[in-house]
Amino acid sequence: MAGGKGDKPAKSDKSAAGAKSSKGRKKETGLGLTNTKDGNFGEWYSEVVTKGEMIEYYEISGCYILRPWTMTIWEIMQNFFDPEIKKMKIKTCYFPLFVSNNVLQKEKDHIEGFAPEVAWVTRSGDSDLEVPIAIRPTSETVMYPYFSKWIRGHRDLPLKLNQWCNVVRWEFSNPTPFIRSREFLWQEGHTAFATKEEADTEVLEILELYRRLYEEYLAVPVVKGKKSEMEKFAGGLYTTSVEAFIPNTGRGVQGATSHCLGQNFAKMFDINFEDEKGEKAMVWQNSWAYSTRTIGVMVMVHGDDKGLVLPPKVSAVQVIVIHVPYKDADVKEIMNACTSTVKTLCDLGIRAEADLRENYPPGWKYSHWEMKGVPLRIEIGPKDFANNQVRAVRRDNGEKIDIPMADLADKVKGMLDTIQQSMFDVAKQKRDACIQVTKTWDEFIEALGQKKLILAPWCDEEEVEKEVKTKTKGETGAAKTLCSPFEQPELPEGTLCFASGKPAKKWTYWGRSY
């Protein structure tokens, strides 16, 4: 190990993870978390996203700086999703950030409950604006007047648009990076069809892409399903979602939504067309979105007491190569081995980098890259060099294996795939272990206390859901429906609702949620 001079990191903090000097004493490294995931989840989370260099807190509460470590993940997800929707003939557009009050208020029912969250611009310089303008919280009311203008006949349909943008919702309940922020990034898709069938089909196609984003990219298992009448988007006909679960807090989290809006907005905004028979008809619309919340869910699911754990598919750096100098060994030749290892991996399309900084000891660097969640670390020391091999260490489970230089390409590629799959499998196992089937009220309350993800037979009545909410209201928030999974277990004839005792209509997931 390096030890000795000049290797003390700039910052010094309460904790000292990792690095030991050659004398074997723990050094103050300024690295490491002061909170554990099980001990204080909220503090742990904000420490992980800041020390993992994803987020910097900003002066304005609820607003966060998204650092490159975050934006790369966002871009990788975008590079999957955008071509997929382009295959579906969805076109990119961009509408303005500002909305006039007039237009915003047009769909009254829709905006009513949301009004407190709308942010307004009222001044420019020293003078008040003649009329205040709102900042988009979503773009239905921004876009649909133009849908009305652009759609004339059936040949103008379908109209399928998507925009990548930011939105502002002035939330008041505890802001959390990624999960609940006042400004966030998303894509919002808005489409119009001649028939309900086409709209229905698209809702599910988009939902499947959201499932793939979570499961194939973020290695987070989700449930696809339908929202209850109470939890759906009030302006629409029905809402589908992918729901994730955070075992440590026992909370569900809506991962992304795909709505069929029906004809509500078409009525409001006069979005009509002349059909093939020459008759006037109203369009069927959808809207759908996923946001930077996806990244927060991923951090919450995979992170551990050493920091972030990133799935290889989305990590900006997939392999970090670190040289391990030793007393009299030839540092130059080990460094060269690192550089050529990086080159071999990069040539294969693997995102590899070397950390050859000499002012930090290897142990400090291990902790640093563990904090940032890099999936695989490769160490090269004099012995490895002599044996023509490298040592690989997995971030997700700490497993160490020696890889002969000759096998580097194959083995590393294989390991990254294995890590991706294994992270999903482990997350799914943990999620599934939290699922509790409850058939009575007492079982339900007990499971809720144990932070379970509850699957219960339900009569599907709004009044009953309201009652469950009221009865479970407490410090940690009320229980509500998350979704009714499309994959329904068998519901035997005569099964009763856990809450009302009436005949059950479906299985539904319940829990506290973000």
Where does this chain touch ligand 87F (CB under 6 A) — which range of 58-66, 281-289, 311-319, 467-475?
281-289
On the question of a cis peptide bond just before residue 492, with omega within 30 degrees of 0, the verdict is no
Q: Examine residue 255 and tell whether it contacts ligand 87F (CB under 6 A).
A: no
Report the residue number, 72 or 100, with the smaller CB distance to ligand 87F: 100
Report the residue number, 138 or 367, with the smaller CB distance to ligand 87F: 138
Q: At what angle do helices 293-302 and 68-87 cross, to 10 degrees?
A: 120
CA 131 – CA 147 distance, rounded (Å) = 25
Q: Examine residue 137 and tell whether it contacts ligand 87F (CB under 6 A).
A: yes
Build a one-symbol-per-residue string for 75-114: x at contacts with ligand 87F by CB under 6 A, - elsewhere.
-----------------------------------xx--x
Contacts of 503 (CB under 8 A, 6+ apart): 459, 494, 495, 496, 497
Q: Shortest approach of ligand 87F to residue 203 CB, angstroms?
A: 11
Q: Examine residue 169 and tell whether it contacts ligand 87F (CB under 6 A).
A: yes
Number of residues that bind ligand 87F (CB under 6 A): 16
Q: Examine residue 303 and tell whether it contacts ligand 87F (CB under 6 A).
A: no
Tell me the DSSP string of 131-178: EEEEEPSSSHHHHHHHHHHH--BGGG--EEEEEEEEEE----S--BTT
Report the residue number, 29 or 138, with the smaller CB distance to ligand 87F: 138
Report the residue number, 201 or 387, with the smaller CB distance to ligand 87F: 201
Report the residue number, 259 or 365, with the smaller CB distance to ligand 87F: 259
Give CA separation, 73 vs 77, 155, 268, 398, 429, in Å. Answer: 6, 38, 38, 23, 24
* Beta strands 238-246; 280-282: pairing state: unpaired
Q: Shortest approach of ligand 87F to residue 259 CB, angstroms?
A: 6
Q: What is the 3-state secondary structure (H, E, C) of 437-498?
A: ECCCHHHHHHHHHCCCEEEEEECCCHHHHHHHHHHCCCCCCCCEEEEEECCCCCCCCCCECC
CA 293 – CA 256 distance, rounded (Å) = 9
Q: Examine residue 138 and tell whether it contacts ligand 87F (CB under 6 A).
A: yes
Q: Shortest approach of ligand 87F to residue 258 CB, angstroms?
A: 8
69, 193, 217, 288: residue in contact with ligand 87F (rule CB under 6 A): 288
Q: Examine residue 7 and tell whether it contacts ligand 87F (CB under 6 A).
A: no
Residue indicated by tokens 């506290």:
512
Where does this chain touch ligand 87F (CB under 6 A) — which range of 66-74, 137-145, 203-211, 377-385?
137-145
* Beta strands 376-380; 251-262: pairing state: unpaired
Q: Shortest approach of ligand 87F to residue 221 CB, angstroms?
A: 22
Q: Shortest approach of ligand 87F to residue 200 CB, angstroms?
A: 17
Q: Examine residue 64 and tell whether it contacts ligand 87F (CB under 6 A).
A: no
Phi/psi for 464 (5° steps) reads -70, -40
CB 103 within 8 A of CB 268: no
CA 303 – CA 41 distance, rounded (Å) = 11
Question: Cβ–Cβ contacts within 10 Å for residue 211, how many?
Answer: 17
Report the residue number, 206 or 324, with the smaller CB distance to ligand 87F: 206
64, 233, 273, 458: residue in contact with ligand 87F (rule CB under 6 A): 233
Judged by the rule CB under 6 A, the positions of this chain that interact with ligand 87F are 110-111, 114, 117-118, 137-138, 140, 169, 188, 233, 257, 259, 287-289
